Structure 1
Amino acid sequence: MRVLTSISGHKLNEVGRISASLEKAGFTGVTSQENRQDAFLPLAMAATATSKLELRTSISIAFARSPMSSAMMAWDIQQSAPGRFTLGLGSQVKGHNIRRFSVPWSPPAPRMREYVQAIRAIWDCWQRGTKLDYQGEHYQFTLMTPNFTPDRLEGGLPRIEIAAVGPVMLKVAAEECDGVMLHGFCTKKYLEDVVIPRLKTGLERTGRDRKAFEISGGGFVATGEDDEAVAKMFEWIRMRVGFYGSTPAYWPVFESHGLEDLGHKLNDMSKQGRWDEMTQEVSDDVVSLFAAVGRHDELVKVLTERFSKLVDVVSLPIGTPPDLIKEVRTIVTPGDC
């Protein structure tokens, strides 16, 4: 099992030192999220301070940027950290695209498919010298002159993965990408009943091997040195389930457990601005559906029961002890089977 942690939230002048310490602690890689900060800049800093740590945007908001911009930023980081960068893309929801990023909205799955295809066409032009000629409904790229063509990469192209919750985006991930970044808003039942079968179908359709495709995430992890620390994380997850559960895009997970009414109730409360009250609507049993819960001394068993042979990558808190990270990395993944 590969083990990641997030470096989001740190000042850029601290990222190099922190990333080097995480590499030394045994983490497989680090991720950055496009929440309050840019997703790419921290990884560029981490690339210069580490030698083997995997670097991933998890995720970068796709439609807020041209595929050309994402292609170039990914290229630059991969150039500085050969073979270590994964471009993780997400669509975000309609409201954020229109009202926060001021970009037009259209059905996200077909657009994301084109976005990934366009980046691959751009990279193929840069790496192999092919003529740039991508023609899609949403994106068209036909101009690339030598002055704007970067040097070829020595360590291979970056991997592309996308965030997916619903069946349609899962289909795009399986057919177009190198992996899928599952949201924390995911349960083991949804993983087994919906995610894995959908991905399997898509991979079979494109003639690809599951072992070459990466599945990361698929649930929150509530852990800590003692019960008090675990309880604190459990409450944080309760808040996140309430927040994400208010958004219709995440309701397929609720539907797999017959929790549609909870989704509608949370949605109504969010429109009324009753954010604190929303958390109270999420019971302990519902939180437990979305989280692997256990102290450090219980964690390997808990993660094995939740994720073993289903996913390839999990994320743990930045302060996880090195000995525990080493032990978690022994958990069997689909690639080991």
Structure 2
Amino acid sequence: MRIGLYVGDQSDLQSQIEQARTAAEHGLASAFFSQVLAWDPLTVAALVGAAVPGIEVGTAVVQTYPRHPISLAGQALTVAAATGNRLTLGIGPSHKQIIEGVYGLSYDQPARHTRAYLTALRAELSGTGHVQVPGAQPPRVLLSALGPVMLRIAGELADGTVTVWTTAATVADHIRPRIDAVAKDPRVVAAVMLSVTDRPDTVRQEVAGALGFASDLPSYRALLDRQGQSNVAETIIAGDEDTVAAAIHAYADAGATDVLVSLVGNSAEKARTLNLAGELAGSL
């Protein structure tokens, strides 16, 4: 299993680049960037690819509804060419509250939309559609998928899935069986909030205050119910080095091909967590 960094802090562009550089210095394999309503993750990935040689850059995830697949293919292939083909493109339909509430677009039939979108996107990335970018190889495509239908689509039309808020048990008992049923050697990338800390309960409370609203988004609510949890903060792995290391090993045992470490806590706790991730990166 590979260990990478999930860069969720979008407050400063240079900070995101420096976080990726520090991750590479610690031996982490990748840096993935999210799309909220701030920095464009593909542009950030291109900048990081230029600034940090060798590291894989990825998105987790680009929202599909606001971007035509032809436009996304052109941008992704441009980033692939600019980074020496180190891009992994994570995409997903996002949530009704965002697509309809913010963008004003219809979120009707997201599974059907995703299937059609991936079919068109893969054709454009392969060079058999409208987009031609010399020197670019088609990036691997991951689909954000938590439910059975989306996992099937990920297995059939993408190169794997990227998940969030999933426990190791969910990866083993739910994610892997469903995607393995329709795919050979899929990539299963799990973004996990981690904190090496002496104050685990406080860290969880801090995250609950900042991100607890996500617990009510339907796809996350269904996942948390499956896991017997009420709030996304309950998925955080927090404790001493042995506790966090054991959890990372559990994801490897569950069948995750990658863990994306999302650092939470104060600056000292984030540093401790990154050091541990670096120590484990070469041993899994």
- Aligned counterpart for 1:149 among listed residues 122, 132, 144: 132
Unaligned runs of 5+ in 2: 264-269
1:303 CA displacement: 1.8
Q: Is the 8 A contact 1:294 1:302 kept in 2?
A: no
**Residues of 1 paired with 2:217 and 2:17: CA distance?**
35
* Partner AA of 2:182 in structure 1: G
| Residue number in structure 1 paired with 2:238 | 293
Q: Is the 8 A contact 2:161 2:187 kept in 1?
A: yes
**Residues of 2 paired with 1:258 and 1:301: CA distance?**
21
* Partner AA of 2:145 in structure 1: A
* Partner AA of 1:92 in structure 2: S
Q: Do residues 162 (structure 1) and 162 (structure 2) align?
A: no
Q: Do residues 324 (structure 1) and 276 (structure 2) align?
A: yes
Q: Is the 8 A contact 1:171 1:202 kept in 2?
A: yes
Q: How many residues align?
A: 275
| Residue number in structure 2 paired with 1:21 | 22
* Partner AA of 1:169 in structure 2: M
Percent of aligned pairs with the same residue? 20
* Partner AA of 2:280 in structure 1: V
Distance 1:221 1:254, change over 3 A: closer
Distance 1:257 1:309, change over 3 A: closer
Paired residues for 1:1-337 under 5 Å: 1-7=1-7, 8-37=9-38, 38-125=40-127, 130=128, 132=129, 144=130, 149-153=132-136, 156-184=137-165, 186-203=166-183, 208=184, 210=185, 213-217=186-190, 220-224=192-196, 226-228=197-199, 230-239=200-209, 242-257=212-227, 288=234, 290-316=235-261, 317=263, 319-320=271-272, 323-330=275-282, 332=284
Distance 1:252 1:99, change over 3 A: closer
Normalising by structure 1, report the TM-score. Answer: 0.73
| Residue number in structure 1 paired with 2:266 | none
1:324 CA displacement: 2.2
Normalising by structure 2, report the TM-score. Answer: 0.85
Which structure has the larger Rg over C-alpha atoms? 1
Unaligned runs of 5+ in 1: 133-143, 263-281, 333-337
1:67 CA displacement: 0.6
1:217 CA displacement: 0.9
* Partner AA of 1:192 in structure 2: A
SS state of the match for residue 100, structure 2? Answer: helix
Deviations 1:47-103 (A, max 9, x none): 111211110111111111111121111111110112310111111111211121122
Distance 1:165 1:28, change over 3 A: same
**Residues of 1 paired with 2:274 and 2:219: CA distance?**
36
Structure number with the bigger relative contact order (C-alpha 8 A, sep ≥ 6) is 2
Larger deviation, residues 104-113 vs 321-330: 321-330
Distance 1:320 1:66, change over 3 A: farther
